[in-house]
Structure 1
Amino acid sequence: MDKKTIMLLAISILILVVMLYFVGIDDVINALKIANLYLIGLAIAVQVFTYFLYTIRWKVLNDIADLNASVFKLLPMTLVGLAVNNITPSGRGGGEPVRAYLLAREKDYPMEETFAAVVADRALDTFPFVFLAILTIIGMTLYFDFSPALLVLMVVAVIAIVIILILVIYMSINPNFGKRVDGWIIGLVRRFYKKNSEEFEEKVHGVIKGFQDTMNMVIHNKKVLYYALPLSFIIWIFEILRVYLVFLAFGANVNPVVIGEVFILASLAGMIPLLPGGLGAVDGIMIIFYTAAGITASISAGATVIERLISFWMATILGLVILPYYGSSVLDKISFGSDTEEISDELEND
C-alpha cells in the first residue's frame, strides 16, 4: 500500500470520526449497546454468502471462456479484488485487473482473456445497479427534498455508467469500432511510450484482439442470460438484505424499500474517485438520508458504522490478509501503474 493510499484512508477515517462527533459519539455508543447481536451475526453470514455468489458468477463467466478454476480457488482472488477496490479510489483501476492478473498467473492463462472475463463480470453487476439506481432517483425525488444539483449529479453518474457499459459491449461485437479503439490506444502509446514502441504496439493489438474474442464468446453465450445475470440481481438483493438486517438489529422500524434506495444512493456516492471505497462519502450519505427517513441520528450512525464494518472493512481485512499469499508486488504491478510489458514478463517468467 503506497503512502498516498494510506493518507486517503486516514483522511476518510477522520471524516467519519468528525461526522460521528457531530451526531454524538455517546449516543452512538448507547445505540451500539442495544444492538441485537444475533441479527448482526446473521448480517455477517449474509455478507459471507454474498462473497460466494460473487465468486460463482465469476466462475460461470470463466467457464464460458474456457478458463477453468474452482470456486475455492477463485474465492480468495475475489476477496483480494474487493480489498483493492476498497483501498484505491474509484478512478485508479481497482480490483478487477488484480483478479485478472492473479488468475492469469495462477493458472497460466492469457491476461487479455482473464481480463475480458472480469470486465464481463463487472458489466453484469452494472445491469441491476443501473435499474435500481433509476428507480432510486425516481423514488428519492418523490420522498426527499433533493437539491437540483445533487439530482443532476446522480443522473449524470447513471448516464456515464450506461455509456461506458454500451461502449465496452459495442467494442466487443463490432470489429470496426474495436479497430478505432485500437488505433486510439496506439496513438497514446506512440505519444507516451518511446522504448520498443513497435513491439509494444504489437502487444496492444494482441491484447485487444484477445479481449474482443473472449468478450464476444461471453456475450453470446446463453449461460450469461440464464445464470450470470439473474445471479447479479440476487447479489444486489442480498446486499440490501444485509443493510436491512443491521437496522433491524438496532430496533429501527424502516421500510426495506427506503433501505434499498439509500443504499443505492450511497453506492453512487462511492464511485466518486477521490476516496478509497467512497469511505466517508458513503457513510455520510447513509447517515443523512436514514435520518431524513425518520430514523434517529444515533441509530442511523450506529447502524451505518456496523454495516460498513461488515460490508467495507471485513472484505478489506480479509483481502489484505490473503494478499501476502500472492505477493505484495501484485498491487505494484496492477493497481499502481506498472506497465503492460512488466506484467507480461512476469507472467512469462512464472
Structure 2
Amino acid sequence: MKHKTLLLMLAGIGVLGLMVLFIGPEQIESAIQQSNPWYLALAVVIQLAIYGLWTERWSITTSALNIPIKRRHLLPMLLVGLAINNLTPSGRGGGEPVRAYILGKYTNSPTENAFATVIADRGLDTFPFITLAIITIITAVLYINLPQWMVITLIVCLIVLIIAFGLALYMSINREFGDRVIRWFLRILKRISSKMHSKVEQRAINAVEGFQDSMKVMITDRKVLLYGIPLSFLIWGLEIMRVYVVFIALNINAPLEIIAAVFVISTLIGMIPLLPGGLGAVDGMMILLYSYAGIPPSVSAAATLVERLISFWMTSILGVAVLPYFGADAVEKMSQKL
C-alpha cells in the first residue's frame, strides 16, 4: 500500500474519530450494547444477499458477450474490485479496471470485452441511483431541513452526474464521437509524454473500437436492460433496507424515507475522489444528516459505525482475503492502485 493511500485512510479515520469524541464514546457504546444481535445478523445476511445479486447482474453482461465464466468465479473478482474501490481515493472507480483485468486473464477474453462488461455493470447501477437522487433531493427539502447551500450542491452534483453518464454512454455507442474523444485525449498525452508513438495510438483506437462493439452488443441484448435494471433497483432497495435494519437493531424506528435520503446523499459524497471509499466523509455526512432529521447524535453515530462495519470493512476484508486466489499478477495490479 502506498504511503499516500495510507495517510488518506488515517485522515479519514481521524475525522471519524473526532466526531466520535465530540458526540461521546460512552453514549455511542451504550447504544451499541443495547442493540438486538438478531437484527444485526439480519443486516449481515442482507449484505451477503447483495453480493449475490451484484454477481448475478455482472453475469448478465458477461453472458451477453459469451464470456465463459461461472458465477462462483465472478463473486471473488467482484469482491476484489469492491475492496479496491473502498481502499483507494479514486471516486469508487479504481476497482473496475482490476476486476476487468482479472476477468480477461481468467477467461482468456479480450481486455476490451472484459472491461465493457464491467462498465455496463456500473452503468446499470446508475439508472436507479439517478432516480433515487431526484427523489432524495425532494425528500431532503421537505423532511431534513438541509441548508440551502447543501441542497444546491446536491442538485449541481446530480446534474454533473447525469451529464457525465450521458456523455460516457454516447461515447460507448457512437464510434465517430468516441474516436474524436480518444484522439483528443491522445493528443494531450503526446504533449505530456514523448514516449507516445503511432503504434500505441493505433492500439488505443482499436481498443476503444472493440470496447464500443462490445457495448453495442450488450445494449441491444434485451436481457441486459430488462433484467439488469430491475435487479439494480432491487439491490439499491436492499442496501437501504440494510441500514433500516441496523436502526431497528438499535431500537430506533427511523422513517424509511429519511434513511433512503441519507444513504443516497452519502453515496454521492463518497464518489468524490478525496478519501478511500469516502472514508470519514461518508461516515461524517451520515451522522450529520441523521442529526438534521432529528435522530439523536449518539444513535446516529452508533448506527453509522455498525452499518459501515458491515458494508465497508467486511467487504474490504473479504476482497483482500480472496485476492491471492488470482495469483501474483492480480496482487501486483492491486498494489499499483493503492
Q: TM-score range by the shorter chain?
A: over 0.9
| 1:12, distance to aligned residue in structure 2 (A) | 0.8
Q: CA offsets per residue over residues 165-189 of structure 1, 9 Å max, x none? A: 1112111222221221121122133
1:83-109 Cα offsets, whole Å, 9 max, x none, are: 000011134841111110000111111
TM-score normalised by the chain length of structure 1 = 0.92
* TM-superposition CA deviations, 1:155-214 (whole Å, max 9, x none): 121111111211121112222212211211221332234336122112101110111000
Match for residue 186 of structure 1? 186
CA contact (8 A) 1:89 1:275 kept: yes
Query: Which residue is 1:201 aligned to?
Result: 201
Q: Is the 8 A contact 1:128 1:236 kept in 2?
A: yes
Partners of 1:215 and 1:94 lie apart in 2 by 20
Structure 2 CA distance for aligned equivalents of residues 194 and 292 of structure 1? 53
Normalising by structure 2, report the TM-score. Answer: 0.96
Q: Which amino acid is 1:149 matched to? A: W
The answer (yes or no) to whether the contact 2:92–2:271 under 8 Å persists in 1 is no
Partner residue of 1:90?
A: 90
Q: How does 1:239-254 map to 2 (within 5 A)?
A: 239-254=239-254
Count of matched residue positions in the alignment of Structure 1 and Structure 2: 338
Q: How does 1:276-287 map to 2 (within 5 A)?
A: 276-287=276-287
What is the alpha-carbon distance in structure 2 between the residues aligned to residue 21 and residue 182 of structure 1?
49
- TM-aligned CA deviation for residue 334 of structure 1: 6.5
Asked whether the 8 Å contact 1:31–1:302 carries over to 2, the reply is yes
What amino acid is the match of 1:50?
I
Query: Which residues of 2 match residues 302-317 of structure 1 at below 5 A?
Result: 302-317=302-317
**Alignment match, 1:20:** 20
- In structure 1, stretches of 5+ residues that fail to align are 339-350
| Alpha-carbon distance between aligned partners in 2 of 1:83 and 1:66, rounded to the nearest angstrom | 26
Match in the other structure for 1:257: 257
Amino acid at match of 1:53: L
Rounded to whole Å, the distance in 2 between the matches of 1:326 and 1:69 is: 14
Which deviates more from structure 2 when the two are superposed, residues 236-245 or residues 135-144? 135-144
SS of the equivalent of 2:137 reads helix
The alpha-carbon distance between structure 1 residues 139 and 328, as it changes in their structure 2 partners (threshold 3 A), is farther
Report the equivalent of 1:219: 219
User: C-alpha displacement at 1:331, in angstroms?
Assistant: 6.2
Structure 1 residues 21-74: Cα deviation after superposition (integer angstroms, max 9, x where no partner): 111000011111100000000000000110010011000011001112111000
1:9–1:275 contact (8 Å) kept in structure 2:
yes
Separation (CA, whole Å) in 2 of partners of 1:221 and 1:5 = 39
> In the alignment, which residue of structure 1 is the partner of 2:270?
270
Aligned equivalents of 1:259 and 1:251: distance in 2?
Answer: 15
1:131 aligns with 2:125: no
Q: Residue 92 and residue 72 in structure 1: after superposition, are their counterparts in 2 closer, same or farther (change >3 A)?
A: closer
CA RMSD of aligned residues (A): 1.7
Distance change (3 Å), C-alpha of 1:312 and 1:327: same
User: Are 2:36 and 1:36 aligned?
Assistant: yes
SS at match of 2:277: coil
Q: Which residue of 2 aligns with 1:70?
A: 70
Cα-to-partner distance string for 1:290-314 (whole Å, 9 max, x where unaligned)? 1222222111111110000000000
Residues 43 and 242, structure 2, Cα contact 8 Å, conserved in 1: yes
